[in-house]
Amino acid sequence: MLRRWLRGTGSASVIGVLLAALPPGAGVARADGDSGSCWGTASANASTYDGSATGSSSGDVTAGGYSNADCTGLAQTNAIFQAGLACESAGIPAGVLTGAGYAVVTWTREWVSDAGDVVTLGPIQQQYDCGDTFS
């Protein structure tokens, strides 16, 4: 009986030491945390590198349930998409051919937290080779 008790106590001690040595778990994401609504707008103008053709595109994106950081990613993805559409408008396939043309896109985004805080970013201007865009 004493032997069984010692074995059980020893096993429990080893498990306790191992659990104590583990790093604390990551925080749990909560629905009422960094969440809110996201709005982004982008306007792009594209041109062949030789200037023989031009095109343009613009568009907005709106979504809910986004964090502030994810809103920036969504808005920039929309900007790259609008750059691709502008390239297509100039006759340059988006995401296919590099060195044929480029697009200059200006974008802005606004994030409103569930608590009502507003964070605006932009306007931001970026240039992409048409081969680095998508449509």
Structure tokens at 111: 């994030």
Binned at pLDDT 50, 70 and 90, residue 22 comes out as very low
Q: How far is residue 93 from each of residues 32, 39, 43, 77, 81, measured CA to CA in Å? A: 42, 27, 18, 18, 12
Note the pTM of the prediction, 2 decimals: 0.74
> What is the per-residue pLDDT across 23-53, written as a single tens digit (0 to 9) for each?
443 333 434 458 999 999 999 999 999 999 9
pLDDT at residue 34, as a whole number: 83
**Comparing 1 with 99, which gets the higher pLDDT?**
99
Tell me the domain boundaries of the chain: 36-132
**87 has a pLDDT exceeding 60:** yes
Query: How far is Cα 129 from Cα 113, in angstroms, rounded to an integer?
Result: 34
**Stretch 95-109: mean pLDDT, rounded?**
95
pLDDT, position 29:
40
* Predicted confidence band of residue 64 (pLDDT cuts 50, 70, 90): very high
| Predicted pLDDT at 25 | 36
126: Cβ–Cβ under 8 A, 6 or more apart, which residues?
79, 104, 105, 107
CB 59 within 8 A of CB 78: yes
As given in the structure block, the two tokens for residue 35 are: 């969440």
Indicate whether 118 pLDDT > 50.
Answer: yes
To which residue do tokens 């970013």 refer? Answer: 121
